[in-house]
Each structure stands twice: as C-alpha cells, then as structure tokens.
C-alpha cells in the first residue's frame, strides 16, 4: 500500500504542538466501521488501538448507532447537566439490572463529568473526604489522568513535569512483579504502614489499575489484588480500582477485578462505558461512602444523554448474558498463541496480557516504535506504551472477528520481522 | 399547571447524593427543542438556563442536528483521540476563517479534553511552564472547574472544601467593583506585585472571567479588563480569560473580551463551542506560548468528532456575519427593560448583566430560591448563583424568540411578585 | 577615625558567602560593654543595632554577667533539655510574678527551642492544631524567621526564594497604613472572610508584629491592633503577636501590645528575653490552648539554663517596677526630637517609630546604605531594613545613657548630611 | 535511694503540657559535673543521656568552663549576629586546622542559627537551590528536627502530626537493614530513580543519619553508606549527612561518616559542637555548592560567641590528636561486652551500637520504659528511643571514666533484671 503524504497544513499551522497520535499516524481519517478506519484517500486501516480502549464494541457499532440516531431524531435531551431524564433513567436501570445486580455489587453511581480524569478526581476527593486524610498511594507506572489531582498519582515523569508545580500528596508503591518476584508482595508498603516511624503519611486510599495500560501492559495477578484488598482492609484505607481502560469487558468480565473476586470501595469507569466513543464516565462507590453534599462536585457535561443512550444499548446488547466474556477470552487465546510464536523467533521481545489487552516488550525501545511505524505502513494501527515506549500495545475492539484479528496479528508478525 | 410527582426512584436509590439540579427541578425530562424542554408527563418548560450556557443555540438546533445525523449516518469518525480527521480539519478551518482571522487573533488551538475544567487545567499548566512560576492569581467569586488545578483558583468555599486537601498555589484578588468603587482598581494587587516584601509569590498568570456566571453575574467593566491586561504586561504575567460560559456569543461578540478590546494570552472555551451541547473544549494561546512537547498533556476524549461537526456547523450558521451579535444585544435590551420594571417594584432586588446573561440579586438568599421554585411550578427553568445563591440567573438560549423571551420574563415577574 | 582594613582572611576563605552583617561592618570585633563594641584594633563603636534587638540591656550587662558567672562557677546545669531545674524554676516564678501576674495575662509558657523561629514554628503548629485549619494570615513586609514554617509567613521575596520550594498555606494582608489611609482598615481581609466565594482558605490564625522591624519600622496603631483582635474574635481565628523583636521593653512596656490593651492568644518572645544575648525563646499561649501532647514539639536546646539565669536576673533588675518603661519612653522622645530636626533639613527622608525603635526612610535606597556606611566610618553601628533596604533603623540598647544616645544621633545627623 | 517527690508546682501550673523529659525524671536538677547531675535534694544521678548527645565532654567540663568564664569576664562579644569576631575567627581557624585539614575535607562553614533544626533547614534550602528540585529523600525512622522543613523529612508519625499541615516534598526510603537483609540495598530506591514511570519526583538530595539515634539506634553499615554515596553520584543527588547527634566523636571519629570513607556534599553539626551544651550548629558543604547570596538565610543567634569559645577549646583539648577516638572505641567495647552479657540472660532483648551510642531493644515497649524508670530510681538517667519507644538508649559522655561506665552498666543490668 502506498500512502500519499496527506495535506496536514491546518493541523500544522493552527493546532498546538501538543498533538501526538497524529504524528505516528500521518493520515487524515474520515470514516470508520467496526475494526476498520478509512482515511480521506480511501486507504483502510485495521484498528488495534480502539481509541485507547474507548471503542471496545468497534467504531460506529450499528446497534448503538441505530439507538443514537433514533434518540437524536426524536429530539431526546442532549445536554442534561444532572437533571433526571428518561435516558439517564434507562441507563441507570440497565446498569443496575445488567451489571450491578448479577454481580452483587453494592455501588451507588455518580456522574462526575464525561472523562476519565473527572472520575478519578471525584474518586480521590471522596476518599479524602471519607477518611479525613490527604495522602493517596498509587503504583509505579500508573496512569490516572492529566488534571492535577489525577496527575499527582500518575507515574510518568514527562507528564508529571507538565504540571508546572510540585505534585504532592501521593506516594508510589511497587506494582505487582516490579521486582520480578525477588521481593515479597507489599513488603515495603506494609512495613511503612505498620512502622509509626516510617515517615509515610497515612493514606486515605490506594488507587490501582488491574492491568496498567499506559504503564506497559503490566498485569496484576489475582492473588496480588486480593492481598492488596486485604491490606486496605487491615489498614483502614479505601481501595480504588481505576477501571477506565480495563473495564467494560477489556479483560473478559465487565469489570477487570471480577476475576480476582475483590470488591473495591470505589471504581472509576470511562472510555468504553458509552460504547460508542462518546465522552462519559462513572464513579461507583459503596453506598456507605456516599457522603457527598448536593453539588459538592459538579461539571457541565456530566449529563451527556446521547452517551447514556448508547451506553444502555451496549449493556443490553453485549452484557445480558455471558457471551461477550467468553468471546473475549477466546480472542485473547488467539492473540496469545500468535505472540508466543512471534516471540519464539524474536529473542529480544517478551509478551504479556489478559483478555484482549496484550503487550510485546522489546529490549530496545526504538524497535517498538519501528514495529508500530511499519505496521502503520502496512495498514495496522498500533501504539506503544510503557515508561520508555518500549511496549507494543495490542488493544483491538472486543467485537473484532477472528479473521480480522488474524490479519492484524499477521501484519504485526511481519512488522516485527521486517524491523529486526 | 399541575405537576404529578415524578417517579424518581432509581435516581434516589442508585444515583449519588451529589446530584443537584434534579433536586430543584423535580421532573424527568424527555425531549427538547429550541428553548423548550418536555418532561415524560408531557409538561413543557421554557429554558432560561440553557445547560448552564452550553446551549446558546437552543436544544437540538435543527441545523446542527442535520449535520450531526448526516455525520453519524455516514460513519464519520466518532472517537478520534488527537488523530487528524476530516471533521477536525473542517472545524479548524472554519474556526480560523470565521472566528480568528476576522478578529485578527493570533491563537494556536489546543484540544485539551472535552470539558471546561480540562481546558482550564491545560491553560494553567502552560502558563506555569512558560513562566517557570507556580503561583496564579484568580478573583473573588471565580469559578473555573472542579478538578484540583481548576478548583484551586475557584472561590466557592463549599466546593473548595470538597478537595480534601489544602488548595494552594493560588491567591484571590478583588474582582471588579468588589468594593463598590470605594477602592481604586488593582490598588491591592499592584502594591503586592511592586512591593518586594509583600509576601505574594510572583504569579505566572492571572485567570479571569469577564462576567462571573457562577459567582453571581458580576460584570467586569471594559476599562477594568484593559487595566488588568496592562497590569499583566507590566508585571510579566500571562492573562488567561476563561470564556467557557461567557464566550460563544453569550455577551454579544463571539468572545466576551472583544468589547474591551483586549487580547488575552490564553483563552479557554467550552460549553457552547460544540453548539449542540456535546462535550468539547478548546484552549487557545498566542503562538509564541506553544512550547508544549507532543503528548505533554493529553486525554482520551479530546477528539470528540461529532462535536467538531456541530461546532463547525454552528460557526458557519451563526458567525459568518454580525447578525448573531446584533440579535443578542437586542434580546439583552429586552431583558434589561423588563428587569428594570421588576426591580422598580421590588426594592430588595437589583439586577445586572450584559448581552444575554443577567442576574437579579435579592437581599435575602431564600427569596432567590423561592423565585426559582415558583418559576419551575409555572414552567420556567431558572437557577440561582452567587456565593449564597442569592442571585437569580437568566441565561436563555441566544436563539430564543422575542415572544418566548417575553413569556419567560413575564413568568419571572410573576414569580417575583408571588414570593414577596 | 581611620580604620585599617582588618584581616578577614579566614572568614573569606572558610565561611560561607551567606554571611552578611560582616560585609557592612568590616571589622573584627573583640569586646563589648553596654552600648559600645571594640574591635581588635582598639577602635570603639557605638551600637545602634543591639544585636537586632537581642541586647536591650546592652552588651555584657554587669548585673546579668555576675549572675551568669556565679551560675557557671557553681556548676549549675548548663544543658537541661526540658528537665525541671532550679534555674528554670527561678525563671518561671520570676516571669510569673514580674511579668504575667501584674499584667493579668493568662498564659502558659512553652520553651520551644532557643531561637525566634523555633517559637514561631511552635506557635503556628499550635494554632493549626487547635483550629484544625492549615491557613495562616500574615502581613505585608512581615518577618517571622527562616525555617520553612516561619518563612512561609514572611514577606521578603529574596528570603522566600531561598526556600527552594513554593511557600504555601499563608496569605498576606495589608499591614496598618499600607495604603496611607486611603482604604479602610481590614476592608479587604474582612470581605474575604465574610464572602463564602472569596477563595480565601479560612485561616487558623493571624500572625502580626506590632512594629515591623525588618519590614521597615512600620508601626501599627493601637486602634488597628484592637480592630484586628476584634476581627479575630468575630471570625474564630487565633491572634498571634510575634513580639520577638518588639517585646522585652523595646517599645516601652514589656510587651509591645500592652499599649493597645489587647491580649493575643499566642505570643512569641526571643531576642532580648535572656537579657544577655544568649539564645532563648518562649511561646506563650492562653491556658485553654495548651492541647500539646508531651513531646509533640521538642528541641535539644530548649533548656538553655544559663539563659534562664540571665533572663530571671534581667526581669528582677529591670521589670520589678515601671522605671524601665518610663526611661525607654523618655529616650524615645529624645530620638524623635532629633529625627524631627534631621528630617526638617532632609526632604527626601521621613521618620517613624515608637519607644526605642525608629526608622528613617529615604526616597532613594542607596542613600540609606550610604548613611549606614558613613556612620560606620564614624564609629556608629547602624543597619537598614525595609523591602528595599531603604530605611535606616535605630535600635539602641534600652540602657543607653542620654549622652551616648545624643552622641549616636549626632553621628547619624552628620552621616545624613555628608551623604546628601 | 529514696527520692522525695519534688515540688514541681510551677512547672505543672505554668509550663506547657508539651514538656516531656521532666515527666520521666521527676526531679529538679540543680548542679552537674562530668557524668553526674545532682538534684536540689542532693541526690546524685549518673548520666547516660548526655543531653541527647549534646554533652559529649560531660557536664560543665572544667577545661571549657575556664575558657568560657575567662571570655565572659573579659567582656568578649556575647551576641555577634554574623559579624566577624575574634572568637569566631579562633573557632574557624581551629576547626580548619584540627578537623577539616587533617581529614582533607573540602568544606565551607555556615553558621545557620544555633540549633540542629536550623542547620537542617539550611542544608535542605541549599540542596534545593543548587539542584533546582524540590524533593528530598529521607529514611525510615529518621529524625531531623521540628521546624517544618526538617519535620517533613522526619519519620515519627506523632511528631509529624504536630505540623497541622500535610508534610510534603519528602519521600521515605528504607534505612539499612530495614528488611533484615531480605531485600538488596537500595533496590527500591534505585528502581524508582531509573524508571521514568515510577512517579518519584527526582530528588535534589538524600538526607541520612549514619546511626539513627531517635529512630532506635539503627546503625548503617559502612558499605551501605558507600553504596548510598555512589547512588547519589550516579543519580545527580546531593548527599546530606545529618551528624548532629552522631558527630563530634560520638561514634569514635569526629565525624560519624569517616569510618565509611565517604565525603558527603553537605554535613550538619550541632549538639556537642560547642562542647559545653551551649546552642550552636554548623552547616558544612563543598565549596562549589556555596551559591548562597549574602543574607539569603539568616538568624539572630547564629553568632553565639561564648559557644565559639568553648567549641574551639573543645577541639583543641580533645581532637588535636587521636586519643579521643581511641578512648571512645575502648569505652564502646566495654559497653558492648556488658550488653552481650545482659542480653545473654534476657531473651526478649537485643542490642546494637557503635562507638559510645548503644541501644537495647525489647520485644515489649513497656519493658523498655520500665527499665528506664527503674534505672532512674537507682540514680541512672536513661531514655528510650525508637518508633514505639522500645529501645533503651545508652549515650554516656565520651569523657566518662571506666568506673562510672561500669557503675552505670551495672545499674542497667539490675534494672533489666528487676523489671523482668
């Protein structure tokens, strides 16, 4: 496939230098359907990035699209602040019936604003308010968002430096397997908590991703998550699972923590919760934590009703039974087998993952970039993650067909080969 | 009109106590068009709140709706991260041609995430990065958002307390007319800056709203804004105008600061920028400030392409000529005349405003609430603002007809009378 | 008098560049008695600086010297941590009988460490602990010390920059007469406190000097101090008077706030409390505020027993009756008359002061330095203060004779004349 | 020995509840000489606490006493701010000749104020200024002082809580042997520094005690200190050794870090530097770090000249040759043998130490208190340390005779036995 250099002029002249993905993927995209995007020159791309996990059901999923257009056509409420609307009610009822009740989860639902970082900010506020403490523990290579509260519990030094002020009130602890099994889990964390002379400000909460996406596809084991929950209970800290990227079925179950059998005190959801790539987020918390005063946290777009419509439709379509989870695990198996084969031939790479999120780590970060660049030339959208962008991240839509998945994996294999 | 108590059960049982507007307006809204909403029982409400300024062109504006549905129908990109897309290009070109160039504004455009607080966070980050200083000055009764960075420059004590940590790095200064003319403008601020012993950490920037919406419809005079700009230039501080609520034509011109003839260094836009109530925001800044590194600030939903489509359509439809501004000023005149008449009969109230944002302040805050409650019973959506919710805020869609406006103002007058 | 350049070599080669006074006064001092110092070359200097207020009773006061030597000779406890000692008991009893009881002051006494900044740090800690709030209000051009807690409530930008971290949790307010009477007292401060939307974090306490020494000899009026006390009571803030430089009789009465008739909640004393220039400080607070846990604040040298001995001797010798106060006021009168005469001939200067602390402010800061430099050549130790070092500060020992005072004032007058 | 309850009334009625040592040792002390104190009732106490390390040469050491009285008698400068004085010069020359030059240490000398916490505050300021970073790493169970800057790098939770504000800008790391050898040294610290995604703000400096006194007599091995110095060099962090309690010969050599062969970038000294228990402290740093501006850090009592006199006398008397170090190591041996014997019979205790600082840790913290209480009854002053006050701390004067040491150790053994 030959790609004509696109006319990027207005992007280059008018848009800020802060733009990033458009630099890796120098095309002007126009349309999309399912796992494929098409640029304005008619080139087609297979999507293994899925809007950084926001498009678990694919681009412009027809079921959701129908519901969305119907809603717009009939002049349903579009912008609803936090007013009660029929669309919000339908979403809440569906979320309760399809997600919370079957899993026996005791959560209240908060609409904290439509983005992930809004949800994280609200979770941190609530935890601090409930416990009356300012400190929060996060983990190495965590990513929780770019507003100041979320950024303070995010690991990436480059992004932290963007704050322009010292980021405080957070302390990092080692994520699972940070020392490759050489140090007992939570040894350091628990000692600091137990030792009255440790110098650690007692945390209100711990915030964790079950699989760190931006951090390099670092997968926490179920027993590590259970031990973390136990530690939180013993030490009177709230457990916040940031399920923004790994929730909504990415790892198999609707919530990524289901497999571990834990029940976090607070959960954040965003990205794929609307199902259609529309901005929406949720903050869930145990009922006894709901000590918010009316309006104590607010936001203009926390009632994005078209997103409620597609969100309810997605839950109905994909989560009323256990098919979605089974299919994701099957697709994950397919990925794993291929990565096993690729890595068998490529000694500088190793892979890891769960459900439909996988990473291939290269010894040389430049190689990971080269693989993604070559994949783009071959019509596959792939991105890197990890502290040095050393991990090629596989995040296809959950609704991808086995054939599409196979096609993408073959392109990946070829890209690895051709960049050796 | 008699309103049957709506079935709020799932909202009450499942949604967090943090919800607020739905308490003032106990209805379940279903549809909306222009300046009117309809609840599920068929009651109709005239909207003098306009999504807190997010619906300047009314609910489900037909011109934008057509463009939106067309875009969805043809499977245009929905979720685009910060990839180049045809929809984004169309928006950027339109924004440049219709807004920036005619006003000779030297701005680069950043998509910082889809909400106002994302835009404010990015503006503060950039100002701190450019100046290498941490401190920012805001004004009494400012409102800039609920994530930690924005909240630190927000005045409201109740919302600040929600942070759960001390909010620092910001210092409040008196907004225009804070002392009712008894103190020269900027006397205190300038003395602190000039006095090397004042104890004020030298600010990187000043952030200001030209009209404080949440703060109680406090209108800054043009000469005050010009003096502020001069002060910023003299003292090497960046001037940030937060035009999230007052921009997009609310005060007449597209930017609320045009009337004053100033050119802020950084401008934030959100709320009505998409035109349709979809989450979208912009951070604009002078080209020489664009020292961002690629990806130094990011966010999953900063490429909400359906919003780009409606945004471009709105600019084309309403801002290609000067009609919108004229119409808004005419409507504002209509509001002013009525408020003059109401306040002539109501000695405990006074009013103020500009363009189509007006406030009626009551001596007794309970009265302001009572007026809004009565208005709701009479089918008019009105909210309070101000530090003690003592101001009834009028924020109708800019596209409201003179008849609708008159109807709403008569309902307001009746509500004032009936709560005396 | 001709001064041979002293041999400063070891100071220059070994002592840090941070040294300052030795640069203004390039002599190596050897002995001192009363109001006079002698350098190693035998030159004599009249002291109008008095150890920055630490030598109110003159250098090596014979009464205190006798008590001190006796104590050392008899092997009295020198270093006592916070153990009970006979010397500490004698001091406490004397302080109670001579100072607290006659003034009906309800204070507990804390030994927070031997320096002023220790006392300020303990005062701020206690205020925050009692009120459960983090914020403290200080005043423009305040000076409270150089450790981080004290520095955060100090105004001088140069010294603040030395912290290397943003200094937060403090907000400056205008000191008395900051706007030369053009703005009502406390207008800004009180509005911020009353306005729930002001953005001011509710302060735990206000810390104030009755006369700002380092800040440029800014004298607060008694009515301003009373109004401040009233404001603190109305707004539930603790009033801390930092009497480190102005206490121990500098302004006439033992405490500088006596004249205003106020009773601060917390008072810090240091500098001249030992009487002999030995490191010692006190933190005094109303009994009901004494919620310290044992050892919650400590410090190695908080039991400097030789200082307790000289402190008790000084109280006995100078404060058992009202003579000291009368004499200070008389000496102050003498200073005032002379300054009046000097300023009558020097239109670029104005003066202000109280008791035996006076300042001459020059329009041109360089002139103030020149006056001090010339005075040094003429054998008089004088220093500048104020944000731009524009104020010549007169701080002679309280025990200076009228003749010595006259001599110094004549040297000052000559220095002013000769630098015109 | 029977002790009559002393008359503590003025202490109880007037002194703050914050007092602590006087509660463990309910006597009113009057005189002291060498290793012994005498209370007002004539009871004698052997001192195994030595002013928390401030009396390394014993109480009222006759050599220093002579020099001190001579100086006072001849009216030497008492209070000298940072003026050049003959006493300061004598101290600086002696310090250079006796301490710095023989050890080939490249330090400039700063007088930051007379207490340990002044020295630590100045060290932290300088490190932040030099590196332009705000973060500092400290260690578990560190103690560096009670003013805000020092407290932020102190471990004890009880003392930290006294701040009344969140203590930030510091991160604790595990001190040597924190995991009893189960984890490689600096594994966690170095990973955080090397991992660009770790979330650790890059530190300006690391502050460490070679032996943690307050923290429970935790002794860092020489190789650990060397590895720490290497890490600091590799990672561009300054190494600050806080030698306030362990310097001045406590561990054998004049500086406690000599044995490890390291050369810290910055060193703090206080406690025994004056030799006589007078308030004095030093901050030493490599010449190239001396970027202070004149007066950027100051303090009223940083020129405590009587302390300079006793300090110079102590250096001359004890450090002109290697006798002191040898004697301390010999005395240490004597302590170690006894502790070995005591612990052989007491299975719930273990001991550790170096030079003349030793600790006996009991499984049950109450036992440690009981031992000290019984020792007091038997005429021996002993204190606990450690996060739970579980360690009996032995800190006799270095000048103690073998017989006195033996007497004290026998009393200790008896106290251990009698509290079993």
Q: D44-63 pLDDT, tens per residue?
A: 999 999 999 999 999 999 99
Cβ-contact B148, A121 below 8 angstroms: yes
Q: How far is C123 from chain B (nearest CA, A)?
A: 19
The pLDDT, as a whole number, for residue A221 is 98
Chain B interface includes C180 (CB < 8 A): no
CA distance A362 to A384: 10
Chain D interface includes C65 (CB < 8 A): yes
Residues of A with CB below 8 A from C148's CB?
none
Question: Helix, strand, or coil here: A321?
Answer: coil
pLDDT in tens, B152-180: 999 999 999 999 999 999 999 999 999 99
Tally A–C CB contacts below 8 A: 3
pLDDT grade for B4, boundaries at 50, 70 and 90: low
Q: How far is A341 from chain B (nearest CA, A)?
A: 32
Closest CA to A342 of A354, A359, A324, A320: A359
Tokens of residue C47, six digits: 């002291």
The pLDDT, as a whole number, for residue B321 is 95
With CB atoms and an 8 Å threshold, state whether C20 touches D294: yes
Chain D interface includes A387 (CB < 8 A): yes
Question: Helix, strand, or coil here: D55?
Answer: coil
Residue appearing with tokens 């999120």: A357
Residue appearing with tokens 């250099």: A5
Residues 6+ apart with CB under 8 A from D231: D186, D189, D190, D193, D206, D237
The pLDDT, as a whole number, for residue D7 is 53
pLDDT grade for B9, boundaries at 50, 70 and 90: confident
Residues of D with CB below 8 A from C118's CB?
115, 117, 146-147
Residue of A nearest to D159 (CA): A197
Residues of A with CB below 8 A from C165's CB?
166
Chain D interface includes A74 (CB < 8 A): no
List residues bridging with C267 in a β-sheet. Answer: C241, C284
With CB atoms and an 8 Å threshold, state whether C141 touches B182: no
> In C140-165, which positions are buried (b, 16+ CB within 10 angstroms) versus exposed (e)?
bbbbbbbbbbbbbbbbbbebbebbbb
CA distance C341 to D351: 74
Task: Please report all neighbours of B, defined by 3+ CB atom pairs within 8 A.
Answer: A, C, D
For B197, which of C156, C170, C191 is closest by C-beta distance?
Answer: C156
Residues 6+ apart with CB under 8 A from D92: C10, C11, C14, C15, D109
CA angle A373, A374, A376 (to 5 degrees): 65
The pLDDT, as a whole number, for residue D5 is 53
Chain C interface includes A165 (CB < 8 A): yes
The pLDDT, as a whole number, for residue C5 is 54
In degrees and rounded to multiples of 5, residue A232 shows phi and psi of -60, -45
Q: Is A295 left (phi over 0), alpha (psi -120 to 50) or beta?
A: left
The pLDDT, as a whole number, for residue C364 is 96
Residues 6+ apart with CB under 8 A from A174: A139, A140, A183, A188, A189, D188, D191
How far CA C288 is from CA of A32, B270, C103, C296, D157, in Å, comes to 71, 52, 18, 17, 25
Chain B interface includes A348 (CB < 8 A): no
CA distance C392 to D419: 65
| Number of Cβ atoms within 10 Å of the Cβ of D162 | 23
Residues 6+ apart with CB under 8 A from C403: none
Does an H or E element contain A148, and which? helix A148-151
Cβ-contact B112, B281 below 8 angstroms: yes
Tally C–D CB contacts below 8 A: 362
Tally B–C CB contacts below 8 A: 122
User: Which ipTM score applies to this complex?
Assistant: 0.97
The pLDDT, as a whole number, for residue D9 is 86
Tokens of residue C264, six digits: 């601060």
The pLDDT, as a whole number, for residue A4 is 53
Chain B interface includes D164 (CB < 8 A): no
pLDDT at B5 over 90: no
Closest CA to C178 of B194, B139, B231, B177: B194
Residue of B nearest to D164 (CA): B166
Residue of A nearest to D141 (CA): A197
CA distance B50 to B61: 12
pLDDT at D2 over 80: no
Cβ-contact B383, B21 below 8 angstroms: yes
What does each of the 420 residues of chain A score in pLDDT, given as a tens digit? 455 555 558 999 999 999 999 999 999 999 999 999 999 999 999 999 999 999 999 999 999 999 999 999 999 999 999 999 999 999 999 999 999 999 999 999 999 999 999 999 999 999 999 999 999 999 999 999 999 999 999 999 999 999 999 999 999 999 999 999 899 999 999 999 999 999 999 999 999 999 999 999 999 999 999 999 999 999 999 999 999 999 999 999 999 999 999 999 999 999 999 999 999 999 999 999 999 999 999 999 999 999 999 999 999 999 999 999 999 999 999 999 999 999 999 999 999 999 999 999 999 999 999 999 999 999 999 999 999 999 999 999 999 999 999 999 999 999 999 999
List residues bridging with C297 in a β-sheet. Answer: none
CA angle A366, A369, A372 (to 5 degrees): 150
Residue of A nearest to D216 (CA): A197
* Average pLDDT by stretches of 10, chain C with 420 residues: 60 96 96 98 98 98 98 98 97 98 98 97 98 98 98 97 96 96 94 96 98 98 98 98 98 98 98 98 98 96 97 98 97 98 95 98 97 98 96 98 98 97
Q: How far is A17 from chain D (nearest CA, A)?
A: 22
Report the mean per-residue pLDDT for chain B: 96
CA distance D354 to D211: 8
Cβ-contact A118, A303 below 8 angstroms: no
Residue appearing with tokens 């059998």: A261
CA distance A15 to A20: 11
The pLDDT, as a whole number, for residue C1 is 47
The pLDDT, as a whole number, for residue A9 is 86
pLDDT grade for D181, boundaries at 50, 70 and 90: confident
Quick one: CA dihedral B18, B23, B29, B33, positive or negative? negative
Cβ-contact B371, B383 below 8 angstroms: no
CA distance A18 to B295: 5
HSE at residue D261, side-chain half, CA atoms within 13 A, is 6
| Number of Cβ atoms within 10 Å of the Cβ of B334 | 16
Cβ-contact A64, A280 below 8 angstroms: no
Residues of B with CB below 8 A from C138's CB?
199
Chain C interface includes A166 (CB < 8 A): yes
Cβ-contact B363, B371 below 8 angstroms: no
Tokens of residue C258, six digits: 């006596």
pLDDT at B250 over 70: yes
Quick one: CA dihedral C257, C259, C260, C262, positive or negative? positive
Residues of A with CB below 8 A from D157's CB?
196-198, 202
| Number of Cβ atoms within 10 Å of the Cβ of C13 | 11
Q: Is A226 left (phi over 0), alpha (psi -120 to 50) or beta?
A: alpha
Q: Give C406: exposed, middle or buried? Use CB within 10 Å, 0-12, 13-18, 19+.
A: middle
For C140, which of B171, B187, B197 is closest by C-beta distance?
Answer: B197
For D84, which of C22, C295, C299 is closest by C-beta distance?
Answer: C22
CA distance A149 to A262: 25
Tokens of residue C305, six digits: 């027993």
Chain D interface includes A159 (CB < 8 A): no
Chain B interface includes D10 (CB < 8 A): no
The shares of helix, strand and coil residues in chain C, as percent rounded to the nearest 5, are: 40, 20, 40
> In C180-204, which positions are buried (b, 16+ CB within 10 angstroms) versus exposed (e)?
eeebebbbbbbebbebbbbbbbbbb
CA distance A92 to A98: 10
With CB atoms and an 8 Å threshold, state whether A278 touches B16: no
Task: Please report all neighbours of C, defined by 3+ CB atom pairs within 8 A.
Answer: A, B, D
Residues of D with CB below 8 A from C116's CB?
299-300
Choose from C44, C58, C77 for mutation: most chain D CBs within 10 A. Answer: C77
CA distance D221 to A299: 55
Does an H or E element contain A118, and which? helix A116-131
Choose from A157, A165, A197, A204 for mutation: most chain D CBs within 10 A. Answer: A197
Tokens of residue D148, six digits: 């805000």
pLDDT grade for B206, boundaries at 50, 70 and 90: very high
Chain A interface includes D359 (CB < 8 A): no
pLDDT grade for B94, boundaries at 50, 70 and 90: very high
Largest CA distance in chain C: 64
With CB atoms and an 8 Å threshold, state whether C165 touches A166: yes
pLDDT grade for B181, boundaries at 50, 70 and 90: confident
Q: What is the percent of chain D with per-residue pLDDT over 90, rounded to a whole number?
A: 97
CA distance A48 to C15: 64
Please give the full DSSP string across C245-309, using - where no structure is assigned: TTTTTTTSSSSTTGGGT---SEEEE-GGGSSSS----EEEEEGGG--PPTTSS--TTS-BHHHHH
CA distance B266 to B271: 17
With CB atoms and an 8 Å threshold, state whether A196 touches D156: yes
Task: Please report all neighbours of D, defined by 3+ CB atom pairs within 8 A.
Answer: A, B, C
Q: What is the percent of chain B with per-residue pLDDT over 70, rounded to a whole number?
A: 98
């Amino acid at each position: 496939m030959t790609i004509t250099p696109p006319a990027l002029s207005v992007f280059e002249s008018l848009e800020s230098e802060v733009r990033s993905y458009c630099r890796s993927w120098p095309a002007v995209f126009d349309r999309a359907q399912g796992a494929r995007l098409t640029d304005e020159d008619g080139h087609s791309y297979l999507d293994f990035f899925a809007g950084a996990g926001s498009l678990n059901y694919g681009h412009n999923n027809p079921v959701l699209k129908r519901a969305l257009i119907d809603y717009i056509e009939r002049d349903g409420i579009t912008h609803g602040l936090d007013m009660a609307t029929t669309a919000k009610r339908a979403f809440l009822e569906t979320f309760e019936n399809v997600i919370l009740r079957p899993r026996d989860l005791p959560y209240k639902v908060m609409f904290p604003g439509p983005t992930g970082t809004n949800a994280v900010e609200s979770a941190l506020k609530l935890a601090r308010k409930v416990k009356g403490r300012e400190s929060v523990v996060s983990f190495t290579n965590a990513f929780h968002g770019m507003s100041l509260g979320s950024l303070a519990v995010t690991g990436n030094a480059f992004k932290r430096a963007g704050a322009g002020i010292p980021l405080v009130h957070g302390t990092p602890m080692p994520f699972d397997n940070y020392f490759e099994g050489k140090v007992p889990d939570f040894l350091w964390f628990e000692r600091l908590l137990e030792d009255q002379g440790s110098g650690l400000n007692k945390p209100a909460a711990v915030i964790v991703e079950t699989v760190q996406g931006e951090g390099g596809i670092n997968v926490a084991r179920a027993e590590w998550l259970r031990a973390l929950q136990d530690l939180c209970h013993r030490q009177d800290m709230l457990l916040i699972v940031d399920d923004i990227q790994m929730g909504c079925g990415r790892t198999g179950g609707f919530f990524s923590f289901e497999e571990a059998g834990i029940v976090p005190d607070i959960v954040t959801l965003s990205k794929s919760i609307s199902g259609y790539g529309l901005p929406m987020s949720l903050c869930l918390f145990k009922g006894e934590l709901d000590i918010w005063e009316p309006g104590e946290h607010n936001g203009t777009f926390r009632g994005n009703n078209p997103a409620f419509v597609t969100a309810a439709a997605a839950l109905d379509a994909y989560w009323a039974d256990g098919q979605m989870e089974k299919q994701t695990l099957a697709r994950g198996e397919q990925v794993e087998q291929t990565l096993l084969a690729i890595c068998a031939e490529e000694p500088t790479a190793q892979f890891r993952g769960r459900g439909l999120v996988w990473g291939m780590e290269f010894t040389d970060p430049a190689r990971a970039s080269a693989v993604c660049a070559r994949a783009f030339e071959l019509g596959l959208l792939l991105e890197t993650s990890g502290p040095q962008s050393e991990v090629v991240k596989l995040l296809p839509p959950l609704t991808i067909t086995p054939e599409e998945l196979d096609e993408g994996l073959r392109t990946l294999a070829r890209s690895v080969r051709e960049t050796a």
